[in-house]
Structure 1
Amino acid sequence: LSEGANGDTELIRAVDNLYVAWNQLLYNLLAKPGFQPPSPEHIKEVAEFTLKQLKDAGQDLSREFVQAGLEWRLSHPDEARTEV
């Protein structure tokens, strides 16, 4: 981050959201000893919801990376031209 830049950017939030979604998926997949296993319907419902959250978080992060790259190219046209 440049001097004086706000540390809480959309990119940072997108990375955090992906991390949270990934951890939620892992938590939902862990077996818990001593508990009655959930029904297959419940497992399917939780898996669909959790995977949708992970997919959405990944797409948001990808969009933020593309936007950051485009903003950099617009603000540094000479460097961007030599990089291509």
Structure 2
Amino acid sequence: MTQLRRSDPTRPSYSRRGSGRGFSYRDPAGEKVTEKELRERFAALAIPLAWTDVWICPHPNGHIQAIGLDATGRRPARRQL
């Protein structure tokens, strides 16, 4: 069993941006993520479509995997179970 590691959403990490009719994922440098393994991990998080300003943890064992702004301006998070 993999041990959880603490996530820090204030640090640079992956992000999700609108792109055409879907989304693209960007690394901390702003470059488009093309690695299949990373894209599959991000898709498996099932981040709600309505979330904006999405931050995605760089570590698959981070205790917070994704956080973003919902339509009401709150910051809900997807946590590791």
TM-score by length of 1: 0.21
TM-score by length of 2: 0.21
Normalized per residue, the structure richer in helix is: 1
Normalized per residue, the structure richer in strand is: 2
